[in-house]
Amino acid sequence: MLFREEPVAGLLLFVVSLNASFQTSVQLLLESLFNGVAIGSVLLIAALGLAIVFGLMGVINLAHGELIMLGAYTTFVVQLIFKLPALQPVYNAYVLVAIPLAFIVSGVVGILLERTVIRRLYGNPLETLLATWGVSLILQQFVRSVPLAHAAGLILALVLGFGLPLLLPSSLLAGPRARLVRAGSWAVSALAGVLLAGGLASQISRIARATSRNVDVTAPKWMRGGIEYMDITFPVPRLVIIVLTIVAVVGVTWFLNKSVWGMRIRAVTQNRAMSDCLGIPTETVDVLTFGIGSGLAGVAGVAVSLLGSVGPNVGGSYIVGCFMVVVLGGVGNLLGTVLASFAIGVLTDLIGAGRLLTIWPDMPAPLAGAVNFFATTSMAQVMVFALIVVFLQFRPAGLFPQKGRMVEA
């Protein structure tokens, strides 16, 4: 009888151990999927603006990373402002204020870039690439050399300078006093910028002097910790970033497909000459498109600031990944951008964190050695980019190719 019970007990132990191993593998897989989606969300929200500018307008904007940097620094400045005694009671809400402000700051800088540099270079990708690369270097040095208080005043002056004429009656802007009115609006804007810069410098010593050191953004209390589910901890900051990404994707999709200006943008993208003949203000469409794409980069900066230190080079670590996402998904296709960003995020976590070996412990030795070699974040990115290059050899236009101004040219 004892002889018969031993195989049964061994079989039961084998089944229990197999079940435990299966549960562990499922748990690790779910955790890896969440981390991959979180990584992909940051990459997606950063690439979303680039998908609009590069995909719809055909502009290779190498300064996109610096627009992300401006959004991150905006979050840092807003955080310091909310630490002032008058705003201390509502400090935990500073992120909700930083998101629209980052969109406005990066959007205004993007509009200024389009009106002063890009507008004369449409249809010249090489010149655009060189010009935006130069702008990226200028913005990096600007952040290192100019106090953030003065930078905030300059941004306010630009926002008011571009925004005030939109609020004035059209009769004032079309009459004989139009130049005087515009000059007066810019003078008022400049005065407001000077007052803001002086006020911030006097109240917050950390932004009164220029510094090239990295700064840290502290998450509010409601964004700290994590949520436990199925023995997996889901960090709240990453959940917030995922929600922010979903809102951004839904908003951009609705705007491009349902709004009047979204339809005008798509019309100009498909046939600029015909759109101009139909009375669509193509130059205004260019400004709006570039402003929205740049503003989304600022929102990405808010997400980036919640994950690590903020410095002049923070955007440079995302620019290559953003271009990879846009090209892999298909230039100008939002669905392809979403799928490509999540695929890159999941692959990066599976390979970089070494989870693939844990999920598949019986992996063949040669393959296991290769996976173990790439089991770091930097090497995982190398592997992912190499796989993308191989994929593009078979589908050069990406997952979902779409026509745009660049394709037509």
pLDDT digits (tens, 9 = 90+) for 50-59: 888 877 777 8
pLDDT digits (tens, 9 = 90+) for 5-33: 555 555 455 444 445 555 565 666 677 77
Whether residue 212 contacts residue 144, with contact meaning beta carbons closer than 8 Å, is answered with yes
Q: What does the alpha-carbon distance between residue 285 and residue 245 come to, in Å, rounded to a whole number?
A: 24
- Within 8 A by CB and 6+ apart from 72, the residues are 102, 217, 301, 302, 304, 305, 310, 314, 315
Tens digit of pLDDT for each residue in 274-312? 888 888 888 888 888 888 989 999 999 998 888 888 888
| pLDDT at residue number 34 | 78
Query: What is the gyration radius of the CA atoms in the chain, in angstroms?
Result: 25
Q: Is 14 among the domain residues?
A: no
CA gap 94, 261 in Å, rounded: 31
Q: Which helix (H) or strand (E) holds 118?
A: none
**75 and 300 Cβ atoms separated by less than 8 Å:** no
- Mean confidence (pLDDT) of the chain: 80
What is the rounded distance in angstroms from the CA atom of residue 320 to the CA atom of residue 307? 19
Q: What angle do CA 75, 40, 243 make, to 5 degrees?
A: 55
Higher model confidence: residue 362 or residue 80? 80
The per-residue pLDDT for 358 is 66
Lowest mean per-residue pLDDT among 120-124, 313-317, 362-366:
362-366
Q: Given this model, what pLDDT does residue 407 score?
A: 46
Q: What is the pLDDT of residue 24?
A: 61
What phi and psi, each to the nearest 5 degrees, are found at residue 80?
A: -65, -35
Distance CA 161, CA 186 (A): 5
> Which structure tokens are listed for 344?
């890159």
How confident is the model at residue 360, as a pLDDT?
Answer: 67
Would you give the distance in Å from CA 367 to the centre of its chain?
A: 34
Question: Does residue 166 form part of some domain?
Answer: no
Of 157, 202, 211, 161, nearest to 182 (Cα)?
161
Contact 334, 249 (CB under 8 A): yes
Output phi, psi for 64, to 5 deg: -60, -40
Ranges assigned E (strand) in 42-167: none
Taking residues 180-203, report their average pLDDT. Answer: 85
Residue 91 maps to a domain:
no
- Domain residues for 395? 31-69+107-143+217-408
| CA of residue 116 relative to chain centroid, distance | 23
Token pair of 205, please?
């010593």
pLDDT at 67: 92
Over residues 168-190, the mean pLDDT reads 77
Report the predicted TM-score, pTM, of the whole model to 2 decimal places: 0.83
1 pLDDT above the threshold of 50 = no
Say how far apart CA 35 and CA 409 lie, in whole Å.
39
Element (H, E) at 228: strand 226-229
DSSP string for 297-348: HHHHHHHHHTTS-B-TTTTHHHHHHHHHHHHHH-TT-HHHHHHHHHHHHHHH
Predicted pLDDT of residue 340: 85
pLDDT band of residue 2 (cuts 50, 70, 90) is: very low
CB 294 within 8 A of CB 106: yes
Helix axes 282-305, 2-50, angle to 10 degrees: 140
Percent of the chain with pLDDT over 90: 8
* Within a domain: 344: yes
* pLDDT greater at residue 124 or residue 6: 124
130-to-53, 125, 134 alpha-carbon distances in Å: 16, 9, 6
> Is 252's pLDDT higher than 50?
yes
- With cut-offs at 50, 70 and 90, classify the pLDDT of residue 226: confident
pLDDT tier, 356 (very low <50, low <70, confident <90, very high otherwise): low
Say how far apart CA 12 and CA 205 lie, in whole Å. Answer: 68
Distance from the Cα of residue 314 to its chain's centroid: 12
Is 249 within the bounds of a domain? Answer: yes
Alpha-helix residue ranges (DSSP H) falling in 204-315: 236-258, 260-270, 272-277, 282-305
pLDDT at residue 329 in the model: 82
In a domain, 86, yes or no: no
DSSP sequence for 64-86: HHHHHHHHHHHHHHHHHHHTSTT
Query: Lowest-confidence range among 10-24, 58-72, 236-250?
Result: 10-24
**What is the rounded distance in angstroms from the CA atom of residue 296 to the CA atom of residue 103?**
6
Classify residue 118 by burial, with Cβ atoms within 10 Å: 0-12, 13-18, 19+. buried
Count of domains forming the chain: 1
Residue 163: inside a domain: no
Q: Which residue has the higher pLDDT, 364 or 60?
A: 60
Comparing 13-17, 40-44, 66-70, 110-114, the range with the smallest average pLDDT is: 13-17
Percent of the chain at pLDDT above 70? 83
- What pLDDT shows up at residue 361? 65
Q: Is residue 101 part of a domain?
A: no
Average pLDDT, integer, range 214-220 = 84
Cβ neighbours of residue 165 closer than 8 Å, sequence gap 6 or more: 173, 181, 182, 185
| pLDDT band for position 375 (cuts 50, 70, 90) | low
Which residues contact residue 21 at a Cβ distance below 8 angstroms, ignoring those fewer than 6 apart? none
Across the range 379-407, mean pLDDT stands at: 72
